[in-house]
Structure 1
Amino acid sequence: MKNIHLSLVLLVLFSLFSLEIIHAQEAKEKKILKVLTYNVHHANPPSKEGFIDLPAIAKVIKQSGADLVALQEIDVDTERSGKGINQAAELGRMTGMNHFFVKGINYEGGEYGIAILSRFKILEKDSLRLPMKDGVRGEPRVLALTTISPTKGKKIVFASTHLDLNPETRILQAEAITNYLKQLKYPAILGGDFNAIPGTAEIDIFDQYLTRSSVPNGFTIPVTNPQREIDFIMFKPKSRFKVHKHLIIDEQYASDHLPVYVEFLY
């Protein structure tokens, strides 16, 4: 009986070891694409009202090692963040990445919106104005899209967005984004602050067409004792990417959101 138990234990250990070898070989054969989505709160640390700390945001991005970054709440030439300061361009310079900014609204003499950083050359840039519910007050929102080629001869679309606070408007925006992404001929990755938790109607719309990377209790806000998951990285088609790692970065100083980091095998 002891010999049988020993044999079973050895068989289990051998199986686990074999799986580790297979996973390691799979990761070796495929390339890893590192993606980050981060609502940066216009680089204003919540603990320092009125203070702008772009180097702190750049440090988070650089330490993550991300190849592609979806940014939300970016200021360009505003009074509060510094006239003549383009936060998207500055973060690109500080991290050594290419940048693309899309305005959501005019704000304090400048612009406020979303951005993308890319370690790869940005081959194409595009944007989409998102709809708003008639009769409902809200802030105009946008979708920023870039086409990049992380592997020679293989293009993908990387997008960033920040949805409205109103749930009825978010449903319209979710429909607009998924309808737009359906038309793309390339695989796509979408990162953003969706202002909605899993199980809501708007996230269900995304889940019908995109695959949403997630981990249990992947909460992103507030930064201290986070209780809600509203920042996501999604992709399509499911067969094109495999989630290798999903991490909520515990960085509590630089912004009022925790950044979401995902590694894809592709």
Structure 2
Amino acid sequence: MRRVFKAIGWFLLALLVFTVSFFLWASSSVYPEKDYASLKKYKESGFSAEDSVITVISYNIGYLSGLTNNKAVESPESLYETNLDRTKSVFGRIQPDIIAFQEIDFRSARSYEVDQQEALSELGFSYGAEVVNWDKRYVPFPYYPFSRHFGKMLSGQSVLSNFEIKEQERIVLARVEGNPFWRDAFYLDRLAQVLSLEINGKELKMINVHLEAFDKATRDIQIKKIIELVSGIKDKYPLILLGDFNSDPNNKDASILALLEMEGIKSAEDSFLQKTFPSDAPRTKIDYIFYNPAFIEKIDAGVVTEVQTASDHLPVFMDFVLKDTE
């Protein structure tokens, strides 16, 4: 009997050592932190928007997983290829000048090691900006079956632009305080990607965000930080704030209301009749574009429905011109 207990003890010790070792290995990063924010140049621009309308799009691309995003179901490689081709086809027809992406994979196991930023840059953009918000050796989610685990993760937010991106700042927003340590170790960073773009000699500020999806208290804190950033910019430069805010304005005390009621900025859409999520049967609006009317004149805005279910979100767009404020 003593041998049995001893064997069980050794087994439990080995299991503990394995679990701790796996946890430390899997939750560690593989990408140099110094490269968590990077600027790209794909080709010479030679592009001018003088006397022309500029089109900006915001799209939570859901790593091109369509409606299988975060679900424990089989997502064949052909699904990602189809969704990429559809997205490139639609955006190729629209020919936006700037696209801001959320939830885009740079080389992750879950999306078959495709650098989606590089693939979409083939639309002809001259400049790009990336910020990493999820860098793990192995993400054991969805929890079951094990074959559906995300595995190696390198994901984040990005911008593609016809205009030169002069500067970029990666700002990490508040984390969920109530997360257990084992979940927090694998959880992504929520970011504000702050950019400066040069458009015909004028400086345009852009803030690309992806806010907390599951904890409203944390999202409220993040919104306050965004308002702080906006307050320091909106009276000085043309500003576009866009992204996935994970907040439905129809909900009581919705986090997004603080931005919708803020003086000096305005939502690109005057109503919320056009929903963005989920893409197959939209019933809520959580994706937005804001701008400051003192510097920017909106021409048109809406939802891009043609991409269908390439993501679980639909993109939003705004056509605008920069006002002559001199």
* TM-score tier (shorter): 0.7 to 0.9
The partner residue of 1:203 within 256, 262, 277 is 256
Counterpart position of 1:23: none
* Offset of residue 97 of structure 1: 4.0
Counterpart position of 2:316: 260
Contact in 2 for aligned 1:40/1:57 (Cα 8 Å): no
- Alignment partners' CA distance in 1, 2:97 and 2:272: 24
Please list, as runs of the form range in 1=range in 2, the aligned pairs for 1:1-266 lying within 5 A after superposition: 31-46=52-67, 49-50=75-76, 51-53=79-81, 54-83=84-113, 85-107=114-136, 108-136=151-179, 139-150=188-199, 152-165=200-213, 166-184=215-233, 185-199=236-250, 200-207=253-260, 208-209=262-263, 210-214=265-269, 215-236=271-292, 238-250=293-305, 251-266=307-322
- Alignment partners' CA distance in 1, 2:117 and 2:129: 7
* Offset of residue 30 of structure 1: 5.6
Please state whether the residue corresponding to 1:179 is helix, strand or coil.
helix
Please state whether the residue corresponding to 1:134 is helix, strand or coil.
coil
* Offset of residue 122 of structure 1: 1.1
TM-score by length of 2: 0.66
Is the radius of gyration larger for structure 1 or structure 2? 2
**How well do the aligned residues superpose, as a CA RMSD in angstroms?**
2.2
Counterpart position of 1:24: none
- Alignment partners' CA distance in 2, 1:30 and 1:197: 36
Contact in 2 for aligned 1:139/1:164 (Cα 8 Å): no
One-letter code of the match for 1:192? G
Please state whether the residue corresponding to 1:146 is helix, strand or coil.
strand
- Alignment partners' CA distance in 2, 1:59 and 1:162: 25
Unpaired runs of 5+ residues, structure 1, are 1-28
- Alignment partners' CA distance in 1, 2:313 and 2:254: 22
* Offset of residue 67 of structure 1: 0.9
Please state whether the residue corresponding to 1:173 is helix, strand or coil.
helix
* Offset of residue 167 of structure 1: 1.1
Question: Relative to 1, partners in 2 of residues 1:191 and 1:60: Cα closer, same or farther, differing over 3 Å?
Answer: farther
Contact in 1 for aligned 2:208/2:241 (Cα 8 Å): yes
Q: Deviations over 1:49-98 (max 9, x none)?
A: 34313232222322222111111111112112233x32112211334342
Percent identity for Structure 1 against Structure 2: 26
One-letter code of the match for 1:232? Y
- Alignment partners' CA distance in 1, 2:304 and 2:63: 18
Contact in 1 for aligned 2:237/2:295 (Cα 8 Å): no
- Alignment partners' CA distance in 2, 1:79 and 1:216: 36
Unpaired runs of 5+ residues, structure 2, are 1-49, 69-73, 137-150
Please state whether the residue corresponding to 1:52 is helix, strand or coil.
helix
Moved over 6 A (4+): none
- Alignment partners' CA distance in 2, 1:110 and 1:41: 14
- Alignment partners' CA distance in 2, 1:203 and 1:216: 12
Please state whether the residue corresponding to 1:144 is helix, strand or coil.
strand
Question: Relative to 1, partners in 2 of residues 1:224 and 1:213: Cα closer, same or farther, differing over 3 Å?
Answer: same
- Alignment partners' CA distance in 1, 2:203 and 2:283: 36
TM-score by length of 1: 0.80
* Offset of residue 244 of structure 1: 1.0
Question: Relative to 1, partners in 2 of residues 1:68 and 1:183: Cα closer, same or farther, differing over 3 Å?
Answer: same
Question: Relative to 1, partners in 2 of residues 1:265 and 1:96: Cα closer, same or farther, differing over 3 Å?
Answer: closer
- Alignment partners' CA distance in 2, 1:95 and 1:220: 26
Please state whether the residue corresponding to 2:285 is helix, strand or coil.
coil
Size of the alignment, in residue pairs?
235
Q: Deviations over 1:9-55 (max 9, x none)?
A: xxxxxxxxxxxxxxxxxxxx964221111111101233783431323
